[in-house]
């Protein structure tokens, strides 16, 4: 393989060298348990406190509102199930049809446990209707938990989180936001957008896998998911993952200081990639809200062929892309996000996601634009579908 052109940054990102450097002392000499009474452990506890302050600064929260977890999946489960179970049966749980499985599955488990669960539909660009949410809250019993993502992991579509937050506050509903894909790509301010609970994952913005946070606004009540010791003010038991917490804080600092310039550069590359694909490949559609979209994400459907075949052929050329959520990559079913948007039958199986990061270059874009069109042409030649081939030739 000549080279790697990595365009799967919504699945995971390269750990920043600065993050690795920040972590190393806590993998070597500063190995004390932060809960220990001796000074050696106490010194480590101070580093956790400093990391908590940096993470809080990243989203404009108070340090006491930051809970360190193992990942966003844990944070999502804690927020959704913990708050619904605290409120008790009769609580209405509202989410959207395009959420990550880490949100959809806890909501559906609550439904199986007797809670009233609703999944709001989206339109053709993946946006929800805030008015529909308002109506669902009016029809609740007065107790509700709403979970909606800040930005979609597959299409990059950005939800109107400020409006959703205002609707939830007016109705007295608990509002949880899965902000995993937005972190490091768009500013997050929990004072400007008054969410109650918010989930982040470090490995989506150049921290290592295995560390996440749950922001819990002061006064918000939930039932802890991890039981045991007193860590995280008894909100999440378990000895703290010190090196990864420190690494996450460094990643937050890097993102906070460089986000504006970095996003502009990445957006320009993404837009050039998009324009090049549309110019070189016929029968292609862009999925998602192009007017409200993350700067790094491009989801396109190539009609009459399968996204899995495209991804495999590109992989042989050293180009890394995705056909949907990394958590669903073992499934051959079309993406639930693309299906929920009503993408036509001829295109629903052919969706491919390109997601960029600070480590992508213009050369990477050139390489994709050189190698992708022949792959698409070859797969179309092999496909039994398409115009003039006797297969499906029109949208249905």
Dihedral sign (CA 5, 9, 15, 17): positive
> For 9, phi and psi rounded to 5 degrees?
-75, -15
Copy the structure tokens of residue 36. 């220990």
Copy the structure tokens of residue 337. 């996000």
Torsion of CA 316, 320, 326, 329, to 10 degrees: -20
327 is catalytic: yes
Element (H, E) at 134: helix 130-138
Copy the structure tokens of residue 354. 């390109």
Copy the structure tokens of residue 130. 């805030």
User: Catalytic residue among 107, 168, 281, 327, which?
Assistant: 327
CB 207 within 8 A of CB 244: yes
Alpha helices in 281-353 (DSSP H): 307-316, 336-340, 345-348
- Sequence-ordered list of residues with C-beta below 8 angstroms from that of 293, at least 6 positions apart, any chain: 151, 155, 156, 157, 158
Query: At 27, is the secondary structure helix, strand, or coil?
Result: helix
Beta pairing, strands 66-69 & 5-6: unpaired
Copy the structure tokens of residue 281. 């490949």
Residue with tokens 């990394």: 326
Copy the structure tokens of residue 341. 């948007």
- Sequence-ordered list of residues with C-beta below 8 angstroms from that of 39, at least 6 positions apart, any chain: none
Copy the structure tokens of residue 329. 């990559």
Instruction: Provide the greatest CA pair distance for the chain.
Output: 77
C-alpha–C-alpha distance, residues 303 and 354, integer Å: 17
Q: Report, as residue numbers or ranges, the catalytic residues.
A: 327
């Amino acid at each position: 393989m000549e080279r790697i052109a990595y365009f799967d940054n919504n699945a995971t990102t390269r750990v920043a060298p600065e993050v690795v450097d920040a972590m190393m002392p806590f993998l070597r000499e500063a190995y004390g348990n932060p809960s220990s009474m001796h000074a050696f452990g106490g010194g480590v506890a101070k580093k956790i406190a400093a990391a908590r302050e940096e993470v809080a600064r990243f989203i404009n929260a108070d340090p006491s509102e930051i809970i360190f977890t193992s990942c966003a999946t844990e944070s999502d489960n804690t927020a959704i199930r913990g708050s619904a179970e605290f409120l008790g049966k009769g609580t209405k749980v509202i989410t959207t049809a395009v959420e990550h499985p880490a949100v959809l599955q806890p909501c559906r488990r609550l439904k199986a446990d007797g809670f009233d669960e609703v999944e709001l539909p989206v339109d053709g660009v993946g946006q929800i209707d805030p008015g529909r949410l308002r109506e669902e809250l009016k029809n609740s019993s007065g107790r509700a938990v709403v979970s909606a993502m800040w930005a979609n992991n597959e299409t990059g579509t950005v939800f109107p989180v400020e409006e959703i937050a205002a609707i939830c506050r007016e109705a007295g509903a608990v509002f949880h936001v899965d902000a995993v894909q937005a972190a490091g790509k768009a500013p997050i301010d929990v004072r400007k957008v008054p969410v109650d609970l918010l989930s982040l994952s470090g490995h989506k913005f150049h921290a290592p896998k295995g560390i996440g946070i749950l922001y819990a606004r002061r006064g918000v009540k939930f039932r802890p998911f991890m039981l045991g010791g007193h860590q995280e003010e008894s909100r999440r038991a378990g000895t703290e993952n010190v090196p990864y917490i420190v690494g996450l804080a460094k990643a937050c600092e890097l993102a906070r200081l460089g986000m504006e310039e970095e996003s502009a550069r990445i957006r320009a590359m993404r837009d050039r990639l998009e324009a090049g694909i549309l110019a070189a490949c016929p029968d292609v559609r862009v999925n998602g809200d192009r007017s409200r979209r993350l700067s790094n994400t491009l989801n396109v459907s190539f009609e009459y062929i399968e996204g899995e075949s495209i991804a495999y052929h590109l992989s042989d050329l050293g180009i890394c892309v995705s056909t949907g959520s990394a958590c669903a990559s073992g499934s051959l079913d079309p993406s639930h996000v693309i299906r929920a948007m009503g993408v036509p039958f001829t295109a629903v199986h052919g969706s491919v996601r390109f997601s960029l990061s600070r480590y992508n270059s213009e050369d990477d874009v050139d390489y994709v634009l050189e190698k992708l069109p022949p792959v698409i042409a070859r797969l179309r030649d092999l496909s039994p579908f398409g115009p003039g081939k006797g297969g499906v030739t029109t949208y249905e």
